[in-house]
A and B are shown apart, each in its own frame.
Chain A
Amino acid sequence: MNQENRLKDPYYKSLTRKILLIIIAVSFVPLILVSGIILNRFNVSYHKKQNEHLRELVLKHKQNIDSFLHEKLNSMRFMAKSFAFEELNNENFLRNSLASLQTEYGSVFEDLGVVNDKGIQISYAGPFKLENANYSDTQWFKNAIKSDYSISDIFLGLRGTPHFVITARQYRDGIPWILRATISFSTFNSLVENLKIGKTGFAFILNNKGEYQSKPGVDVVSDKVYSIFNLITNGENTKDGVYFSEMYNDSEKKYLFVATLIKNGNWVLICQQDKSDAFSELTNARQITLFIILLDGIFIIITAFLLSRWIVAKIAKTDDEKEIMNQQIIETGKLASLGELAAGIAHEINNPVAIMVEEAGWIHDFMEEEPLNNQENKNELERALAQIKTQGKRCRDITKKLLSFARKTEAVIEDVDINEVINDVISFCTQRAKFSNVVINSSLQENLPILRLSHTEIQQVFLNLMNNALDSLEKRGGNITLKSMLEANEVVISVADDGPGIPKANLARIFDPFFTTKPVGKGTGLGLSICYGIVKKMGGIIDVRSVVDAGTTFYVRLPSKRKD
């Protein structure tokens, strides 16, 4: 309680605050610094790794798609070169050729056809009825007739389903003709569809007009696919032609695009992934780090709070003890100077008193030599002389007491009858005991050996023990029993009270200097420690047995033969 109040003192409050802040600062700065740096390094390396992964993935698929297209294109070019126009113009031959291509590549080739320079399909093999179909206005034909070979963009065409064509151009009598094959969209699309990254990543192909060349995944970024195309081709470019770019869609979601040009730069293969998905590991790591920092922070704050309070409580206690000690020193100093003064006076008085007593004795000597005739006068004179002697002795007793107070003569080693000391102490305490309703009993063994020790010191020990016993009984009264006995070579004196007893927790500390359970200002906490010191100096032992609510007994064991 007292300690609590002490901590409310502004000085201790500010001290607590300072220690708290220092602990928090010292703990948090390295924590944040270290985790920040680690997180940052992890962030950088994870980005690098992730980009590298995406780059490789995209390049692999670019290779796949390009080699797919090249393979099919080469087949066409081979056929156009190897067979004569007349052969290919034969529908049976064409059908056989288609059959052998389908055996080779599966259902990749949907149909085959020969188109003349006017755009008329003069020969056809395939599931549709496209003989004599006119392709003169189609974009693919316009491109195909101009170059030795071509691959068209995806279109619906006459059949109404998405597909694209591969063409190879040849001349017959200086007039160009075209061998054309339709590539199944679904087979081609599966090449792109297979490219899946994480949970949200998918791939698609755009042509240079921003039109889809493959079936896009579920989350179409935006209608502005053309702008994506531009964005990507303007994005960060790596050496091997892989572009990295980021873009927000309408719902403020950030997407990551990785792209590369395929089909000789006519198409672009794009991988799109939610940025949150792409870097979900990083987000996880960041969240875990934040959680740890938060947890650690809470722990630090709690620790700092408790630690600072604990430290300040310790400091406050030390300060208190220091203050008590200072007071004690001042008190001791006062007593010492008072004692010196008393001792000086006592010494000075001794001489005149001695002279007075001796002069009276001198008169007495005379009277013995020449007795007075008048008996009455003689008696009166003798009475007066005896009175002087008595009062002189009284003075001597007073000065003796003063000197013993001054403690200068305190430690005179003399023959001491311990029972006499106990009886003295009992008589000192009788008045107070009556007042506190305490009965003092004594059971003293007779004929105890005479001890060689300081009378005043041993008296002080028993006075202190008695005072403590009386203090403990002050509120409700009770009994104090003093016993003396001889045990082996020891004189044992016990002081027992039936007071409230000493709790176990305090029992080990009662002989410590400054330990007191008495209210502030009442006890110095020195009494028992002085007793301990005195008894130890005498070669004895002081110990205690106490039962809560039953009472306390102090035992003083003094060696009956002092070793010299």
Chain B
Amino acid sequence: MVNTKAEDTEIVGAKSNNKHNRIRLLLVDDEKDFVNVIAKRLSKRNFEVTKAFSGPEALRAIRKTDFDIAIIDLKMEEMDGIEVLKILSKMVPELPVIVLTGHGSEAASEEAMQYGAIEYLAKPCDFEELFNRIKEICVKTGGVTNV
């Protein structure tokens, strides 16, 4: 079942530089249901998705794993998306980050771009569009073709 694949990605453990065929993606949002469904849909499309429901959780995950791309919500309770972006831009400056948020505003978009976000998408966004953007970015930044 497709479901199991999603579970698999979640237990990807130790940080490694092993070769990988699948795109490793970090999905950060405090809307659990949203994270779950997107994770499932991406996993089904052969992504290795790591879910994080808060900023600190996301940072912990990044310490463990090398990600090819991250999708981050802006408005989260524990730590704001912008804060996470700021830290990420120092920790892993090469990591491409897509901001996907329901709290879209010009100011927020500009701020996100300023702190290293590569793309800004507003919820609800068309899944196909999201999928295509991820693919494009990964091809461009990591030379990953296997999607």
Contact = CB atoms under 8 A, between A and B. Distances in A.
Interface stretch (B63-71, B102-110, B132-140): B102-110
A88 B86 CA distance: 152
B103 A354 contact: no
Contacts of B44: 365, 369
A351 B74 CA distance: 12
Given A350-B124, A354-B123, A358-B34, A413 B106 contact: yes
Interface stretch (A54-62, A269-277, A403-411): A403-411
Given A351-B123, A362-B40, A369-B2, A411 B34 contact: no
Contacts of A330: none
Interface string B4-27: 000000000000000000000000
Interface in B29-87: 31, 33-34, 37-38, 40-41, 44, 75
Interface in A319-351: 347-351
A355 B31 contact: yes
A396 interface: yes
Given A355-B31, A392-B124, A395-B124, A350 B102 contact: yes
Contacts of A408: 105-107
Contact of B34 (A347, A354, A392, A409): A354
Contacts of A356: 124
Contacts of B122: 350, 396
Contacts of A349: 102
Interface in A334-389: 347-351, 353-359, 361-362, 365-366, 369
Given A355-B31, A365-B2, A365-B41, A396 B127 contact: no
Most buried by B among A348, A358, A408: A358
Contacts of B34: 351, 354-355, 358
Interface residues of B, number: 23
A357 B123 CA distance: 10
Contacts of B41: 358, 361-362, 365
B99 to A, nearest CB: 14
Given A351-B31, A351-B34, A412 B106 contact: yes
A496 to B, nearest CB: 33
Interface in B89-142: 102-107, 109, 122-127
B102 A409 contact: no
A359 B2 contact: no
Contacts of B75: 347
Interface of B: 2, 31, 33-34, 37-38, 40-41, 44, 75, 102-107, 109, 122-127
Q: Which 7 pairs show the lowest CB-CB distances between chains A and B? A: A350-B102, A354-B124, A354-B123, A412-B106, A358-B37, A350-B123, A351-B102
Interface of A: 347-351, 353-359, 361-362, 365-366, 369, 392-393, 395-396, 403, 408-413
Given A353-B124, A354-B34, 8 more contacts: A350-B102, A350-B122, A354-B125, A357-B124, A361-B41, A361-B127, A393-B126, A410-B106
16 contacts: A349-B102, A350-B104, A351-B34, A353-B124, A354-B124, A356-B124, A357-B127, A358-B124, A359-B33, A361-B37, A361-B127, A362-B37, A362-B40, A396-B122, A403-B104, A412-B106
